[in-house]
Amino acid sequence: MTLRVQILKQKFSQSLGLPFKELLPSSVIEQALSELKIRYYRRLFDPIVTLWAFLSQVLDTDKSCDNAVSKVIAYLAGQGVEIPSTDTSAYCQARVRLPEKLLENLFIQVAQNIEDKVTTEHLWCGRNVKVIDGSTVSMPDTMENQKAYPQPKSQKDGYGFPIAKIGVMFSLATGIVIAVCIDVLNTHDIELARKLYKFLNPLDILLGDRAFCAYADLISIKKLDCDAVFRKHQARPTSMREGKIVGDCDKLVIWYKPQRCPKGLSKDEFDALPQTVNVREIYYYIVIPGFRTQRVSLITTLLDATTYSTLEIV
């Protein structure tokens, strides 16, 4: 058993296209297992082999468990050792045994290792850009999942799968996911975003779509010594007469505090907001032959038009 595990670990760590050797070596996984005091039996699919096989499965075109187990068998076939069964049950049970906390800790460590490799040449105008977005994921239809992440009310009982809402922050320079938060389906993207702001570092720039372009959030991001570039929310009217022009299709404007407290903010948080905030509004046109011309408006707290030109932001 030990020999087969050693063969698989060596094969996985040297597999092309999977940078386990540099970013997720067995020593890192073993250290995480030790820190969490996770004990496991000496079996073919130990946590290290299972995790590597699982990641390989996710990244493969054929994402079936049969394909994942076939890879393991193929690796062992050329080494003259005992070949395991083609039954996928042992591998599937090993995946279920992987502790969620272990995956979370390894996720954070890998993200940090990649972020540490970022140099000045990878930055935008000398600053790190973080991108934020929201999406949904479906999960196995179990009682536990249905209770924690109910499916849409429009879905008939007994049909469909539990669905969770996820918020993600990733690095524009590396593409690596830095932080994830998970909640129920009816959670608004901006509620998830507010849980992710703590992962911003000073001088970061947060990039997002119109769902995140809210008055309170622009102020929260500025308080973290960061800046934001968001697509303008559709509820915000555009007035060409207001503001100070700083370039072509580029002007400085003053936003005023909303009259009513928006959802997601307590009364105390709303009362603490300043009465105004200075922002920069940039708009440009997307012209594609055969399609209707589309105008895109951006809102940013990057007020220095010399350092952050209109074209650079666009």
User: Domain ranges in the chain?
Assistant: 2-109, 124-208, 230-314
What does the angle CA 182 – CA 186 – CA 189 come to, to the nearest 5 degrees?
60
Kindly state the helix (H) or strand (E) to which residue 54 belongs, with its residue range.
Answer: helix 47-59
> Which pLDDT score, from 0 to 100, does residue 195 have?
93
> Which pLDDT score, from 0 to 100, does residue 264 have?
82
Whole-angstrom distance, CA of residue 88 vs CA of residue 70: 9
> Which pLDDT score, from 0 to 100, does residue 77 have?
78
252 Cβ neighbours under 8 A, 6+ residues apart: 243, 244, 246, 278, 279, 280, 281, 303
> Which pLDDT score, from 0 to 100, does residue 83 have?
79
User: Low-confidence residues of the chain, pLDDT below 70?
Assistant: 1, 12-19, 158, 238-241
The predicted-structure confidence for 47-82, as pLDDT tens digits, reads as follows: 888 888 888 888 788 889 998 888 888 878 777 777
The predicted-structure confidence for 227-238, as pLDDT tens digits, reads as follows: 999 999 887 776
**Closest by CA position to 209, among listed 190, 236, 237, 181:** 190
pTM for this entry: 0.82
